[in-house]
Chains A and B, each alone.
Chain A
């Protein structure tokens, strides 16, 4: 009876896993009154594609504060207000700047910069716009002094530039919805503007012809024009869709540009007016009006862009579901379960771990596919997506191995790599939109789908080989549980995956050469990125030739596999840092530091492998007496 029930546990785990990751796709409503979700789905054109406002909110908050949540301003004697997601912050930014200015969104950690500005440790790590206001002059002055050559800036200068850029970005987004001033009466301002356009133009032409004119009307009109001209230069988001033909390739306008163009058309764009209504409604607390206006805006959009509407809504849902965060959580759980499985309840925990791993893998896959749909491109287009894909590839291969060998190593390695790469990806996402457009040179779906993916799979395979070797060494040296049969099995896995790795790395590198030849006529340019890929191919070739020539045995082969991790990490990240980390002062670029830490960790494990076999805790099982 008991064993029958036990058989179901992996299945239950699987379903629980699915529920956990699936829950993200059904987010709870943010407010009972205001339809914030629809506000989040309002379209904006940024970086060449149409996104939901929610994406802009999340990306911006991520850039400013490295988080996707912040807190409302404290009320009364509270320490701080309730925690709210980025979307709510964007609502406040759009409608109640006076509230947004109090929200702590600017993360400023660099100790040198804090010192220079006079910010004390107990003032916290995140600041509001108002908090930083006294320092604006100083920050501006410091930015002028920054080295114009980007590769020669130290961390202080980079921190100065970053806070300056963040403040500018905030300022520009603040100005993206309407001109600032008395926002409760923005509709009235537009009405006044609307009524003065025609008479103003009349007076202007009179003045240009040198005839007598009504300077009062003219000055008033010019004041509006000047105001909106400044607004067009400051506003960042393009929220007003184009009109006419060829909608897909046309530039959207920002609010200033649209208001200026009203001079020609004589009419203010309905979108601009709706945003004004929306602002007034929210400020007055009128939920009904707010919701109705948002719906209006969305239906206008879907009438003009019927194909995009679903994609924009889908992106909103994708943001909410945070598939990769949930996948990483599951990967950690899987790793823990496998480690326990090596001590007790082996087979049961092994199957449970595998079940959860598959659930995590499914959501990881779903996330990748969703990104492909939103961007309309193959899965790997930039460093962020390469990290997500390396993890995906390694997990897939790990699951395949686990099905074959059933010794937990496949699952453990898959979970470890899956989790680490998603963390790396998360940190890469802090620089902005990860679904950005490709530069023209790299804009080729065919090569992106072939060369880039093949090479990235090659990375996954090398990491998998290295990961398996790490677990084998750690288990052999520190636990009493590694026997000869298992070690042999793992050696076979590492060998097999290395063969797989050399195939993909070599073909991928060569495809890159062909792409280069098609693009600028040079198959091999000895470029740092190309050289990095070549190193991986040469290293895997060394590994295989060393094994075939019996220059190394099992342990030596494991050590070589772990070194492969270092070579791949160099190729993937190190080559990007050349000229940045190596020759600037400071050396403390965070990414460079983590790369170094990773390399050291691998070297340490390689050294551990060098401990004489007799001293390993698993020695009795491994060494034939």
Chain B
């Protein structure tokens, strides 16, 4: 009786430790092409169970999507008309969103960059605030306007005076930079922003300037 009991316990514990939660090590199967639909999202954070969960996961990796769209702004932005422009060949056009009037991406060999065109009523805080917002998006500290002059250059976009902003961090060679233009026009301000791999930004500079020169409000 005792022996039976002991072997029973031993057997159970052995089974439990040895047991794997199911699937075999190697699986072979076949799928008809195309396989499912293209994955749309890198696997996101799972919802942790219980009490304070149900937080929406971070939507995308791109820093530019962290701009706070206040409720008023989204409605206001939606009412602003999209201008005409010419899209450079190297850029892929993506569908616009509630905030982004223009939405493009470009890239090759593992480097990518995103170009967005947005517009908001008013001056959204002013030139210094906007440039510093972009600086903070790529991890640079904010600076007063006087120190920012090195990153700014005046240009013309469809007859309007605009500021061309160049934020490339020389210490961050493998990292991310921003180049773009801030165009005040009437009661709104337009932002054209290219953000991505710095090497790619250097490559794409002509395309960006070409795009800006083609804008027709």
A440 contacts B by Cβ under 8 Å: yes
Query: Given A225-B121, A257-B71, A257-B72, are A207 and B53 also a contact pair (CB < 8 Å)?
Result: no
A256 contacts B by Cβ under 8 Å: yes
CB distance from A455 to the nearest CB of B (A): 13
Whether A232 and B72, one on each chain, are in contact in the complex, defined by CB atoms closer than 8 angstroms, is yes
Give the CA-CA distance A278 to B51 in the complex, in Å: 43
Scan A489-512; emit 1 where CB is below 8 A from any B CB, else 0: 000000000000000000000000
Give the CA-CA distance A203 to B61 in the complex, in Å: 42
Q: Among the listed A222, A233, A251, A527, which residue makes an inter-chain contact with B49, where contact means beta carbons less than 8 Å apart? A: A527
Query: Given A222-B187, A257-B71, A527-B49, are A439 and B122 also a contact pair (CB < 8 Å)?
Result: no
* Most chain A beta-carbon contacts within 10 A, residue among B71, B121, B186: B186
Residues of chain A within 8 A (CB-CB) of B217 are 208
A: number of interface residues (CB 8 Å): 24
A-B contact list, 6 entries, CB within 8 Å: A208-B186, A226-B122, A229-B122, A516-B49, A527-B49, A529-B50
Query: Which residues, 63 to 88 on B, are CB-close (under 8 Å) to A?
Result: 70-72, 76
Query: Which residues, 199 to 245 on A, are CB-close (under 8 Å) to B?
Result: 204, 207-208, 222, 225-226, 229, 232-233
A260 contacts B by Cβ under 8 Å: yes
Which chain B residue lies CB-closest to A519? B49
Residues of chain B within 8 A (CB-CB) of A222 are 187
Residues of chain A within 8 A (CB-CB) of B70 are 232-233
A522 contacts B by Cβ under 8 Å: yes
Which chain A residue lies CB-closest to B54? A441
Whether B122 and A207, one on each chain, are in contact in the complex, defined by CB atoms closer than 8 angstroms, is no
Whether A233 and B72, one on each chain, are in contact in the complex, defined by CB atoms closer than 8 angstroms, is yes
Scan A425-446; emit 1 where CB is below 8 A from any B CB, else 0: 0000000000000011110000
CB distance from A509 to the nearest CB of B (A): 13
B47 contacts A by Cβ under 8 Å: yes
Scan B175-197; emit 1 where CB is below 8 A from any A CB, else 0: 00000000000110000000000
* Top 10 A-B residue pairs of the complex, sorted by shortest distance between their CB atoms: A441-B54, A525-B49, A527-B50, A232-B72, A208-B186, A229-B122, A226-B122, A439-B54, A207-B186, A257-B72
Residues of chain A within 8 A (CB-CB) of B51 are 442, 529
Residues of chain B within 8 A (CB-CB) of A225 are 121-122, 187
Give the CA-CA distance A527 to B53 in the complex, in Å: 12
Scan A288-330; emit 1 where CB is below 8 A from any B CB, else 0: 0000000000000000000000000000000000000000000
Give the CA-CA distance A516 to B122 in the complex, in Å: 48
Whether B53 and A441, one on each chain, are in contact in the complex, defined by CB atoms closer than 8 angstroms, is yes
Residues of chain B within 8 A (CB-CB) of A439 are 52, 54
Give the CA-CA distance A529 to B50 in the complex, in Å: 8
A35 contacts B by Cβ under 8 Å: no
Residues of chain B within 8 A (CB-CB) of A229 are 72, 121-122
Give the CA-CA distance A440 to B54 in the complex, in Å: 7
List 18 additional A-B contacts (Cβ < 8 Å) besides A232-B70, A439-B52. Answer: A204-B186, A204-B187, A208-B217, A222-B187, A225-B121, A229-B121, A229-B122, A233-B70, A233-B72, A257-B71, A257-B72, A439-B54, A442-B51, A522-B49, A525-B49, A525-B50, A527-B49, A527-B50
* Most chain B beta-carbon contacts within 10 A, residue among A207, A229, A439: A229
Scan B120-132; emit 1 where CB is below 8 A from any A CB, else 0: 0111000000000
Residues of chain B within 8 A (CB-CB) of A251 are 71
Give the CA-CA distance A439 to B72 in the complex, in Å: 24
Which chain A residue lies CB-closest to B49? A525
Which chain B residue lies CB-closest to A264? B79
CB distance from B105 to the nearest CB of A (A): 29
Which chain A residue lies CB-closest to B53? A441
Scan B121-146; emit 1 where CB is below 8 A from any A CB, else 0: 11100000000000000000000000
For chain B, which range describes its interface: under 10, 10 to 19, 20 to 34, or 35 or more residues?
Answer: 10 to 19
Which chain B residue lies CB-closest to A229? B122
Residues of chain A within 8 A (CB-CB) of B50 are 516, 525, 527, 529-530
CB distance from B124 to the nearest CB of A (A): 9
Scan B35-73; emit 1 where CB is below 8 A from any A CB, else 0: 000000000000101111110000000000000001110
Whether B54 and A260, one on each chain, are in contact in the complex, defined by CB atoms closer than 8 angstroms, is no
Query: Which residues, 522 to 549 on A, are CB-close (under 8 Å) to B?
Result: 522, 525, 527, 529-530
A345 contacts B by Cβ under 8 Å: no
CB distance from A504 to the nearest CB of B (A): 20
Which chain A residue lies CB-closest to B79? A264
A520 contacts B by Cβ under 8 Å: yes
Query: Which residues, 162 to 217 on B, are CB-close (under 8 Å) to A?
Result: 186-187, 217
CB distance from B39 to the nearest CB of A (A): 22
Query: Which residues, 94 to 126 on B, are CB-close (under 8 Å) to A?
Result: 121-123
CB distance from B66 to the nearest CB of A (A): 14
Residues of chain A within 8 A (CB-CB) of B54 are 439-441
Residues of chain B within 8 A (CB-CB) of A441 are 53-54
Residues of chain A within 8 A (CB-CB) of B121 are 225, 229
Which chain A residue lies CB-closest to B158? A210
Which chain A residue lies CB-closest to B68? A233
Give the CA-CA distance A522 to B186 in the complex, in Å: 56
Which chain B residue lies CB-closest to A527? B50
Give the CA-CA distance A214 to B119 in the complex, in Å: 24
* Most chain A beta-carbon contacts within 10 A, residue among B49, B121, B217: B49
Give the CA-CA distance A226 to B188 in the complex, in Å: 11
Whether B72 and A260, one on each chain, are in contact in the complex, defined by CB atoms closer than 8 angstroms, is yes
CB distance from A613 to the nearest CB of B (A): 41
Whether A520 and B49, one on each chain, are in contact in the complex, defined by CB atoms closer than 8 angstroms, is yes
Give the CA-CA distance A525 to B52 in the complex, in Å: 15
CB distance from A275 to the nearest CB of B (A): 19
Residues of chain A within 8 A (CB-CB) of B187 are 204, 222, 225
CB distance from B57 to the nearest CB of A (A): 14
Give the CA-CA distance A516 to B47 in the complex, in Å: 13
Give the CA-CA distance A153 to B63 in the complex, in Å: 25
Query: Which residues, 172 to 209 on A, are CB-close (under 8 Å) to B?
Result: 204, 207-208
Give the CA-CA distance A233 to B72 in the complex, in Å: 8
Give the CA-CA distance A27 to B76 in the complex, in Å: 46
Give the CA-CA distance A509 to B28 in the complex, in Å: 42
CB distance from B77 to the nearest CB of A (A): 12
Which chain B residue lies CB-closest to A207? B186
Residues of chain B within 8 A (CB-CB) of A226 are 122-123
Residues of chain A within 8 A (CB-CB) of B186 are 204, 207-208
Give the CA-CA distance A207 to B51 in the complex, in Å: 54
CB distance from B155 to the nearest CB of A (A): 19
Give the CA-CA distance A233 to B122 in the complex, in Å: 13
Give the CA-CA distance A571 to B72 in the complex, in Å: 43
CB distance from B98 to the nearest CB of A (A): 16
